[in-house]
A and B are shown apart, each in its own frame.
Chain A
Amino acid sequence: MNAQHQPTGSAYFIAKETQRPETHTLSVLVANEPGTLARVIGLFSGRGYNIDSLTVSETEHEAHLSRITIVTTATPHVLEQIKAQLERIVPVHRVVDLTVRSHELGHDKPIERELALVKVTGTGDNRVEALRLADAFRAQVIDANTEHFIFEITGRVSKIEQFIAIMKPLGLVEICRTGIAAMNRGPQGM
């Protein structure tokens, strides 16, 4: 009543977000059949969720199961929705929020590793310095000639970011990163 005197919002009411966004890592076990990855990605773009990192590969060949690891940033309410929406996709077997699970297990966060291939070209001091730093970062040389190296580096995202930043002035020409592979500590499976 007295509608005209009341404060307004909208019928499409957009509530003010009070929760802070968090970054979580989700593991999604899916049937490896055509279109499954498209369904997962389409869900994220269609419903406006973020994908910070995405990794996918078949993990159980006999059962035709693939494991998708998605890093996403959202409020806890939306994270809950993402999990429920993923579980609704027909070929999705299981969804585990590894970040939530790690807290339940008494850990800070799940173990997360990424692999990167980093190509660096150069001669003289730069070349020596690149090799010295790669050694310090425990990066392996997997290809080289007199003008370039390809380093393989594995580790936390922060380590890889740092390695790439250091290589930049030393002749960095190409980077390829796998995205994050993750699982929780302890004897329990997903």
Chain B
Amino acid sequence: MTGKNMEMTGAEMVLQAMRDNGVEHIFGYPGGAVLPIYDELHQQDTIEHILVRHEQGAGHMAEGYARSTGKPGVVLVTSGPGATNVVTALQDALMDSIPMVCITGQVPTSLIGTDAFQECDTVGITRPCTKHNWLVKDVNDLARIIHEAFRIATSGRPGPVVVDVPKDVQFATGIYTPKPDVSVKSSYQPKLSGDLDQIRAAVELMAGARRPIIYSGGGVINSGPEASQLLRELVELTGAPITSTLMGLGAYPASGKNWLGMLGMHGAYEANMAMHDCDVMLCIGARFDDRITGRLDAFSPNSKKIHIDIDASSINKIVRVDVPIIGDVGHVLEDMVRLWRASKAPDRKQIADWWSQIGRWRGRNSFAYAANADVIMPQYAIQRLYELTKDRDTYITTEVGQHQMWAAQFYGFEQPNRWMTSGGLGTMGYGFPAAIGVQVAHRDSLVIDIAGDASIQMCIQEMSCAVQHELPVKIFILNNQYMGMVRQWQQLLHGNRLSHSYTESMPDFVKLAEAYGGVGIRCDKPRDLDDAIRTMIDTPQPVIFDCRVASLANCFPMIPSGKAHNDMLLPDEATDEAVASAIDAKGRALV
């Protein structure tokens, strides 16, 4: 650009800066304080705008888009309620480290602080739920700040950022700052490479291990596909068993021979037992969340722990580790693989006993459930969905609850970026808009939101968005008429008093789909399920699939409240009595 056309309005700058940062899609909703930007959007066609029905939907769409592509998701909303509605999605992205850039309109600078119409303190409200945020008061700062916003959102530990742009700044004319080649913010310089001495110490520990385990998380996915490749290489080289958090599924293929399944509260028995009994734990891009560790003072008591994380504050936050490595997973794994190859590989016999022990744990078949010929078991529904979609180009999102855990247990992920779920915040209503975001980025892929009947109603309005933009997302509802996970906890903790966890008035999901202009399918017989799923896959419109499942099924195995990894409640032990007495009064108070 020449000096002359570097001069433009703030609204033009927003779009120019987005183009300069590679933005192709925006999820947004117009309103008074962003009208100048919407006017600019109208006069160009390089950036596609997806009109949502609620700003929370825009946020989750951006998250799904980001998680499935590795690119930042971009949101554009108005001031006041536009900004407050997106807060849930911002916090969700913060907790799951999803890169998101959210542009909010603001009342004109002269009106800030006067309780103007649709005014709120957006930077104040979003300060704790963003990685960083800005209020732009001078149009000449706008482009620089947007470039910086993209860099901060996508580098280091990714996260959401907010740029609040008052309406007069959008109208004002100023000089556009081109995207800088290097960072200008000297206080923010994330460290990518890990300390080599520490990495060497980690390799030595792993080489000497008799009972090693690799515990990987969402950081591997965030680091990019190369990191997942390197993780697979490391598993192959070391021969160690690998488990993963909910957020890390797909980094190592579910069909891989060293795969133990997901760990944690509803994780596989073999994964949790191996975590408990291991002598060396290699934690890669995970953060020892409380759903993972269970009872902390009994968490993997006899192991040396190595922790790779790009965020120094994650190290020693919950669990004390012996070898901390601060750096990007991809960079650190590259060094680890290189050092492992250069050193003398230990004898595989060293871990043979460990593998036979793991074999015995696997034999417990902890995901077992009682099949039923008349009623669709939720686990069976996921298994069939997996079998019928696994050979396609499929992306899966979920809402939050039992269906989410069953999806994690029974759907096998072979690749990273194929699984979008709300892990940290646990946001009901995440899955459907996230699926729309995925579909925007992958128009020809099969995108399925595995949902619960309660969660799906939290952002159902986005059906209208999916129909408008011809995004053929499939919503696969495991409909048991309950908030299943709430009910499960009420059974465990509150004497089976099912306070407000039953939905007495359920919409007719088939008619609902049709009302929005989509297609509805209902299935309540196991024998009809495969055909119904095939019909769903072959339908070129958005589909709501109302899969009527056993209403009282619970999600097992489970580490009950207050228990350790080696103290799981297994499905065959989960009698009514065991469920009722699994957590005593002290555990109840602490939940």
Which residues of A does B touch, CB under 8 Å? 1-4, 6, 8-16, 30-31, 34-35, 38-39, 42, 46, 77, 80-81, 84-85, 87-88, 90-93
Alpha-carbon gap, A80 to B316, bound state (A):
9
Are A11's CB and B312's CB within 8 A?
Answer: no
Are B313's CB and A1's CB within 8 A?
Answer: no
Known: A8-B583, A87-B312. A3 touches B590 (CB 8 A): no
Q: How far is the CB of A68 from chain B (nearest CB, A)?
A: 13
Select A38's contact among B124, B296, B560, B586, beta carbons within 8 Å.
Answer: B124
- How many positions in chain B have a CB within 8 Å of any CB in the partner chain? 49
Are A90's CB and B582's CB within 8 A?
Answer: no
Alpha-carbon gap, A16 to B317, bound state (A):
15
Are A8's CB and B127's CB within 8 A?
Answer: no
* Residue B360 interfacial (CB < 8 Å): no
* Residue B334 interfacial (CB < 8 Å): no
User: For A84, what are the chain B residues with a Cβ–Cβ distance below 8 Å?
Assistant: 312-313, 315, 317
Are A10's CB and B587's CB within 8 A?
Answer: yes
User: For B587, what are the chain A residues with a Cβ–Cβ distance below 8 Å?
Assistant: 8-11
User: For B293, what are the chain A residues with a Cβ–Cβ distance below 8 Å?
Assistant: 13
Are B127's CB and A35's CB within 8 A?
Answer: yes
User: For A3, what are the chain B residues with a Cβ–Cβ distance below 8 Å?
Assistant: 560, 563, 567-569, 573, 578, 582
Q: How far is the CB of B359 from chain A (nearest CB, A)?
A: 18
Are A4's CB and B581's CB within 8 A?
Answer: yes
* Residue B538 interfacial (CB < 8 Å): no
Known: A8-B586, A9-B587, A90-B187. A81 touches B317 (CB 8 A): yes
User: For A11, what are the chain B residues with a Cβ–Cβ distance below 8 Å?
Assistant: 265, 290-291, 294-295, 559-563, 587, 591
Interface residues of B in 496-544 (CB under 8 A from A): none
User: For A91, what are the chain B residues with a Cβ–Cβ distance below 8 Å?
Assistant: 132, 187-188
User: For B294, what are the chain A residues with a Cβ–Cβ distance below 8 Å?
Assistant: 11, 13
Q: How far is the CB of A7 from chain B (nearest CB, A)?
A: 8
Query: A91's closest neighbor in chain B, by CB?
Result: B187
Are B186's CB and A93's CB within 8 A?
Answer: yes
User: For B296, what are the chain A residues with a Cβ–Cβ distance below 8 Å?
Assistant: 13, 15
Known: A91-B187, A93-B187. A9 touches B297 (CB 8 A): yes
Select B590's contact among A10, A77, A81, A88, beta carbons within 8 Å.
Answer: A10
Q: How far is the CB of A6 from chain B (nearest CB, A)?
A: 5
User: For B187, what are the chain A residues with a Cβ–Cβ distance below 8 Å?
Assistant: 30-31, 90-93
Alpha-carbon gap, A30 to B186, bound state (A):
11
Q: List 6 A-B contacts (CB under 8 A).
A: A11-B294, A11-B560, A35-B133, A42-B127, A84-B317, A90-B185
Are A9's CB and B590's CB within 8 A?
Answer: yes
Alpha-carbon gap, A88 to B569, bound state (A):
39
Q: How far is the CB of B526 from chain A (nearest CB, A)?
A: 31
